[in-house]
Structure 1
């Protein structure tokens, strides 16, 4: 193998800050590649240890630049990382001889998919209802069959008193396959005992990796029909066992003998503050706190199974139970007394609700092993479910890659007021989440809106802000506690992924009603104002979460389609350009969504619809640089949401180099600089009549005006633009908010201003 000195090696750091050694863990996450490197083939990529030894790795393209070169690549490899250890790896972008013809999954002549990790083997057949057929485990004595009884491994859903089982898969796809991991996706429908298909769809992705008998499962149930009330959803492994062991904080806390006539035994989280363990039918053994662990059962045929559910308490109710039918993971447990209730908002429910197009997604791990493994083996494997390790590049690699737009690294030395404020915002939001108990399977990841029981629906794009803050150096907390939970929530609850409104988004819930569940109580879905998709694409590019990609594409495709249809009405003279939308928000957020989607998945229809919006803006921009028609609100033409407008135009210009757009940005910035500016105090007005101002106005308009200066050909003449942008921004950057809406509104554009301040300083 050789290294081309003109193309850098990228340092990747894997940190295990826990007290548990992680052995043979699959590390898998995305990495951006700058466009100027022109990397076009994953076969050129190779991974090395700190000492220079070749490390087997697997690479998959997730995103592309418009010229076809790779923009985001998923890197997957297996590593051992000791407790409290940091390991260094190097990614070479121009190696040779690193390819392999080894694959964990293979397709037999019959069409069945055969899986062999070296430690676990099974087959997958479309005609079989079990996710794992011919399951076998490699032990020191050789391969042994893992027999189950009286049924198949899979999920069951209860509607009223009727039980529905997963039907045979309608489609089985291999999402990724190589020497290090395989990802297999099953889709189909839940069926009655007579074989009648329901409107409930399952999408199940299983991930296995080399030299491991652990299986990571991402399980989604989606409602394609009218609103429905579920009584439960469980993933069942029909095995025979007499005991269940419950582990919390990596220690065995109880071992229960599950007598067949006494119901089920295990652990149930029915609120965010306490959990039951032991006999779950009686629910008499209750412990305060949050359960963080797993359960293990040892079968009568000489093998064992351990299982854990990610976000077990945050997305309560959840259970791990051993009963008469086997070992079950209560994803929406029938044993719950809470169901979808949100008690802080006085919303009491006795079921789990799924409106049309809503989903519930759960991530869990199944670890097949021999009884009584070595002391550290169980914690080593099961902690991979709750807190998987990541391979992270230096923060400046993400910031300077261009894959996330203009971005600068966190810098407390240069911008102490701003960096301190955003940290306070995050801490306040997490404190609010804990104090208001903003948890639950339907709610976790979102924030309350005007009162408890109404919801913000991740306004203004939690995943987007979370990913930017994480990858500029804010730390994993922005990913683990903010971006990821919000992305999963949006996929399930806020995005409508089936039915006549497929591709629409539920906006924030203005009303409080104890008879509804929030999030979608306002009724129908919408697109335009108060809808977001940009952050979900960015989350997908880093995480490799195909479920996020699929949901984001559904929304982006519908958005592009509706935008083009509306534009055609304008082009045909059926609707005046000035009335294409009702507010500037609809234009700004629509264009931002289209360009955000295009920057990850460069589909031509996204750019075509964005180009149509650009034509409308060009038509409605007057000689003073202001936007007229539907852009006018609060007495200032196209100003109130100046940054969504300009940010989307910047993304468009950076993708296309269209000089008309650069000139439009400069003209608009000059106008924004003048209209509504109040000095003193050096800020932009929020309402024209009141001449009032607030931090959101400054943080929205400062980057818009700053971009005008940055793209200006007459910087000396336009120096006032930069002076006002900096003055307005720095006046507001210390203000904080404890609400998700305030945090994201205040910082999704503010980080662009920091990047511009760094760029302008380098120019000077």
Structure 2
């Protein structure tokens, strides 16, 4: 930790927690109330449950923890205990290493069914706790068997079924789990008869990633295949098992690799069978509703009849228990119960964010009956009986509409369940580009389009081929129908999985993520003003997600880019002003905001953004694999395919905090993206750009190389492989050797070969700077890089850039011989570069300049922290707006505020 950060930490750690993360001082009309930040603990080893108290259902938990450099060497064992010192079972594995080989991040897993308490601790040392029911993995030539001590899952190595069976107490509870998909050859029937094609999963590879004893992970890869033999829609599915668990968590990802003009994906889901052993009146159907509600019926209902079966019979069925023996029933019901309809098929469909419907029928060939309606279903259900059944849930069910839960054949010996990640009852996905090119055939015409709508258009580039989507499903193999209360708890756990985290002070003390933040501090009026605005901006965006309905299968998790004050609407349909796609790093802003505050609501918004941007805004296959897409009306629409969007800088926070394997995969996918930077030159449309010279590619030092730094640095941390350090070092030496360092702007680049990562001067003595170079994670990655690799000349070049970018013109001329050419754009965002240089140089005058630059955001104080209510005929629905807010400015102001407080907070004057 720098002296500034260390002093600030010990000063703020002793402050009272009142007001941290709150809305104190914000005027009336502000956005929704914040979720309180956690109380600071004197024991920084104490963990906490992110959303409050320990979960009602201990399903097992996984988290990532940071460690200061040199504290624990590789191979260190760890143990866990609750707040009273009782040992807890624990499984540990490394996530990242410091340059000296010591542990930087470790992941830890707790078993299911174990009460960890509200504040467990993890410390170095051999553990003494015994896992009551270990999870074990057995591999054979044909299958992998995983036993949690409660359930046993059999996973085939080939074929259609992802899960052959899940048994409990020697009986099959779930069988024949497969992936299914359905496509139309036209977007709708108005264009003629629609031909539908069904697909099901075909396994290509099955592998064990973890074997226990607390947590086991099995991954299956494959493709979907039709009866005619077409294979497409590659998928990967991970199954997560915890010791003592009666459930399995399923993380499903698919990639769209079809023809967007012909392949209109309608439905994609997970389907499985549930053996039905009980009598129809002892079979139970459940769907979770909003706010803890539950729709609960029997397959053959015994309530509401003309004749009474008896109170004990009715109460048992309603509770989900086995009914009393027939001889205890009312005589007429006992005699005539076979005349009561049995309902075999059920559907809950959530086709919008605000409405779901439940309907049922007796069996195919007969009419559907509307059963119930509601607004937002949490996406969980159950089918089974007194002798066992399956509960199932899909996370973000209403947020990622259209979704659906189907139960079929519940009156037969085998019920069938389909968890639809995209409902087949909704219109098919139409992923075609949204306009016809508007006559833009030449480069000059494309520039005209950019001039008027800010859309970077190029024919054929707005393709969805290679985008992905991940979904999280939980399956419970139960010995009996759960109580109503328990099923509601299960539904809540699906929607908001319990997450353990450290206290903010723990992250700060470890010195991770560049040491660029401090704990919230409201000790002076100026600090209060900054903290209030930080809270206000996040709370406003959280409320905008709801008011503007930033939901949907492909959209949930992203923000809009820019507001239209005239329409009182975000510019959802205007070229490059629509979906944000990580433009100017809102992802990084959110993660730093979480690290310093510990607020659960910030974590959850950032988590949704990570899942979206990692899947939808990055190409995972095809021509643009590894690249991301700039902001656009459609997430994949812009022709600017760039590493600045796919960079690991946006995702490494979540990976280290949670150990999430899917995000780990995505960060590995982009490791070779530097090999695309010549084929898809990000500045190919810019006149007067520097040529690559004799080198394989030309890249800029900011949005290009800075993005690659995050990829290479993260892989080096994760593996310790010197290849990635050497690749970084060659780039660092190249920039340091340029005539004007970072102000050279770009260089020739060698992505592969014995000199991979090397940068070469192709600009001569020409000065060049871009206002975008440091604002896509560049500032944050360079702060980490100079701390991890001691290269004095590179450090000097970076400090020169930080010092001079916002410097007055005469200072630029004095240092460089001429102005650097970057202009004054994003002055406030770049104030954090000035602050960084001030902290490194211990330069009070430079620190004052940083604050002067920062306050230029609103020198006249017109940006009041209040919302304006728009209703009536001015807007479709009543909404709150802040006319001066844009996502670019919000993200950059938020990062500048957080980092300036940490770096030069002692120089902040009121």
Deviation at 1:354, TM superposition (A): 8.9
* Aligned 8 A contact 2:468 2:616 in 1: yes
Note the 1:38-53 alignment, pairs <5 A: 38-42=72-76, 44-53=77-86
Alignment partners' CA distance in 2, 1:337 and 1:642 = 41
C-alpha distance after superposition, 1:632-654 (max 9, x if no partner): 9xx99536346445544332211
Are 2:45 and 1:10 aligned? yes
Distance, in Å, in 1 between the alignment partners of 2:172 and 2:342 is 29
User: Within 5 Å, which residues of 2 pair with 1:399-414?
Assistant: 399-406=508-515, 407-413=517-523
Which of 372, 384, 399 is the aligned partner of 2:481?
A: 372
Give the structure 1 partner of residue 506 of structure 2.
397
CA distance in 2, matches of 1:386, 1:443: 18
- 1:435 pairs with 2:547: yes
How far apart, in 2, do the equivalents of 1:112 and 1:277 lie? Answer: 37
Give the Å deviation of 1:128: 4.6
SS of match in other structure, 1:185: strand
Counterpart-to-counterpart distance in 1, 2:784 and 2:174: 55
Shift of 1:699: 2.6
Change (3 A) 1:626 1:173: closer
Distance 1:102 1:282, change over 3 A: closer
Cα pair distance change 1:296/1:729, threshold 3 Å: same
Residues in 2 aligned to 1:494 and 1:641: alpha-carbon distance in whole angstroms: 19
Instruction: Find out whether 1:251 has 2:360 as its counterpart.
Output: no
Alignment pair present for 1:452 and 2:600 = no
Q: What is the rounded CA distance, in whole Å, between the counterparts of 2:132 and 2:245 in structure 1?
A: 19
For 2:628, the equivalent position in structure 1 comes to 505
One of 225, 229, 233 as aligned partner of 2:264 = 229
**2:835 aligned with 1:706:** yes
Determine whether 1:386 maps to 2:506: no
> 670, 691, 697: which one pairs with 2:827?
697
Correspondence 1:284-323 to 2 at 5 A: 287=373, 289-292=375-378, 294-298=380-384, 302-323=387-408
Shift of 1:554: 0.9
Counterpart check, 1:163 vs 2:191: no
CA deviation string 1:508-550 (max 9, x = no partner): 11xx5xxxxx11122463334x553212122111122111111
Q: Which residue of 2 aligns with 1:350?
A: none
Contact 2:217/2:240 (8 A) holds in 1: yes
Residue in 2 aligned with 1:495?
618
Question: Match for residue 191 of structure 1?
Answer: 225
Aligned-partner Cα distance in 2 for 1:432–1:380 = 28
RMSD of aligned alpha carbons: 3.9
Corresponding position of 2:310: none
Give the match for residue 657 of structure 2.
542
Task: State the distance in 1 between where 2:352 and 2:486 align.
Answer: 30
3-state DSSP of counterpart to 1:365: strand
Cα distance between partner residues in 1 of 2:724 and 2:676: 9
- Corresponding residue for residue 468 of structure 1: 592
- Determine if contact 2:288/2:377 at 8 Å carries over to the other structure: no
Correspondence for 1:650: 783
* Cα distance change on mapping 1:672 and 1:316 into 2, 3 Å: same
Q: Tell me, in whole angstroms, the C-alpha distance in 1 between the residues paired with 2:828 and 2:463.
A: 40
- Residues 341-372 of structure 1: CA deviation (Å, up to 9, x unaligned): 99x99xxxxxxx99321112111111111333
Question: Which structure would you say has the larger RCO, counting Cα contacts within 8 Å and 6 or more residues apart?
Answer: 2
Counterparts of 2:792 and 2:129, CA distance in 1? 43
1:273 aligns with 354
The Cα of 1:673 is off from its aligned counterpart by 5.2
Residues 183 and 207 of structure 1 are in contact (CA less than 8 Å); yes or no, is this contact kept in structure 2?
A: yes
- Map of 1:553-702 to 2, 5 A cutoff? 553-559=668-674, 562=677, 575=693, 580-581=698-699, 585-591=703-709, 594-595=712-713, 598-599=716-717, 603-622=721-740, 627-629=743-745, 637-638=768-769, 640-641=771-772, 643-644=774-775, 646-672=779-805, 674-676=807-809, 696-700=826-830, 702=831
Tell me the secondary structure at the aligned position of residue 478 of structure 1.
helix
Deviation at 1:500, TM superposition (A): 2.7
2:851 to 726, 736, 746: 726
Unaligned runs of 5+ in 2: 1-42, 185-195, 301-339, 362-366, 410-414, 436-461, 563-570, 682-690, 748-762, 812-818, 866-883
Closer/same/farther in 2, CA of residues 99 and 124 from structure 1, 3 Å limit: same
Quote the Cα distance in structure 2 between the aligned partners of 1:660 and 1:296. Answer: 63
* CA-to-aligned-CA distance 1:554-609 (integer Å, 9 cap, x gap): 1133237759999xxxxxx96189x9346854444444554455555555454444
1:476-528 Cα distance to aligned partner (Å, 9 max, x none)? 111112x211111122211111123211111111xx5xxxxx11122463334
How big is the shift at 1:616?
4.3
**2:173 aligned residue:** 146
**Separation of aligned partners in 1, 2:369 and 2:105:** 48
CA contact (8 A) 1:190 1:201 kept: yes
- Alignment partner, residue 90 of structure 2: 57
Point out where structure 1 has 5 or more consecutive residues left out of the alignment: 1-7, 346-352, 513-517, 567-572, 679-685
Query: Larger Rg: 1 or 2?
Result: 2
Q: CA deviation at 1:426?
A: 1.0
- Partner residue in 2 for 1:22: 56
CA distance in 2, matches of 1:264, 1:492: 34
* Separation in structure 2 between the aligned mates of residue 618 and residue 362 of structure 1, nearest angstrom: 44
1:486 matches 2:601: no
Q: Does the 8 Å contact 2:353/2:551 carry over to 1?
A: yes
Measure how far apart 1:458 and its partner are. Answer: 2.4
